[in-house]
Amino acid sequence: MLTLLLAGALALAQTAAPVSTDVALPSRPAPLHGTLLTPAGATTAVAVIIPGSGPTDRDGNSPQFGFAAGNLRLLAEGLATHGVATLRIDKRGIAASAAAGPSETDARFDAYAEDARAWAAEAARRAGQPCAWLVGHSEGSLVALQAVQTPDDRICGVISLAGAGRPAGVVLREQFSGLPEPLKTQAYAAFTELEAGRTVSDFPAELASVFRPSVQPYLISWLPLDPAKLAATYRGPLFIGQGTTDLQVSMTDAEALAAARPDATMVRFEGANHMFKIAPADRDANIATYRDPSLPLAPGVVDAVAAFIASH
């Protein structure tokens, strides 16, 4: 009977699900919200998962665009099987944290970095760990790299997944390169002024959605940031993960980060797109995976992140 009881207990432990807990972090003008996922067994580490740009929620979804990949939820669930607890968050102004969002005029990139540091302290406290990892996806990678520019022993290290390796101004100029003249020249001139910290008033009406006065303070706080330089100045553990069929961030970006930090660990995931799901290079088929939460993460993604955390 003792043997049967032990066997039953072992089977229960192997099939037990991680525990999900809603978390509210005090903030002004309203609390920030996230989900703490704790492994069924012992917790060996904890990580804060920071979503990418735009209206992306804690699970990696953007309902406004019909995107429901659930990639960040899948990452959290996968890490739990390796004993890593995660706190995945709704950014300030997004989803359950919408009430904490500033007005467009008051938005600054540094606020996201400050929030990341606060979440790291909260995650470490709740998980009973000395520090928490910052796992940034897409623009979340830049948030994490900016957050660690302020030394904080409550942050274990940074895991960059599909993070840009070049300043936003460089990427935006590439995206605007197809504009007809004189719009392209005017856009480039506006970017130069904003990068220098100066607002602009002389821009064409066709570009008002990009350069409207209310968003310029945010652009001034964001455009000058160079991910590679931030990586170079950060001396803590750094993991760089990049998929080869990513339509939004390229291997060039990952290599730029790795060149800035030769001691970092860089892993290339063959056939993985921006959501870290297996996808072809064809744009329509690639984007279709953004809408399919049933697709798993690409093989090796969870294992590589978990192994890096375990090695440090």
pLDDT value, residue 2? 53
What is the pLDDT, as a whole number, of residue 11?
47
Phi–psi pair at 38, nearest 5 degrees: -105, 130
Percent of the chain beyond pLDDT 70?
95
Q: What is the pLDDT of residues 177-193, one digit of tens each?
A: 999 999 999 999 999 99
Q: What is the arithmetic mean of pLDDT over 193-221? A: 93
Rounded Cα gap, residues 52 and 246, in angstroms = 14
- The answer to whether residue 6 scores a pLDDT higher than 80 is no
8 A C-beta contact, residue 74 and residue 34: no
3-state secondary structure of 49: strand
pLDDT of residue 269: 98
Contact 155, 134 (CB under 8 A): yes
Distance from the Cα of residue 104 to its chain's centroid: 21
pLDDT digit string (tens) for 72-123?
999 999 999 999 999 999 999 999 999 999 998 999 999 999 999 999 999 9
- Does residue 285 have a pLDDT over 60? yes
Contact 93, 112 (CB under 8 A): no
For each of the domains in the chain, give its residue range(s) and CATH number, in order of start: 18-166+225-311 (3.40.50.1820), 168-224 (no CATH)
Query: How much is the pTM?
Result: 0.90
Q: Which residues of 94-114 are buried (b: 16+ CB within 10 A; e: fewer)?
A: bbbbeebbeeeeebebebbbb
pLDDT digits (tens, 9 = 90+) for 220-234: 999 999 999 999 999
Query: DSSP 3-state assignment of 176?
Result: helix
Taking the CA atoms of 191, 193, 195 and 197 in sequence, report the sign of the dihedral they define. negative
Tokens of 206: 């066709």
CA distance 161 to 272: 11
Please tell me what DSSP assigns to residue 286. Answer: H
The dihedral sign for the CA sequence 177, 182, 183, 185 = positive
CA angle 167, 172, 175 (to 5 degrees): 140
* pLDDT reported for residue 15: 55
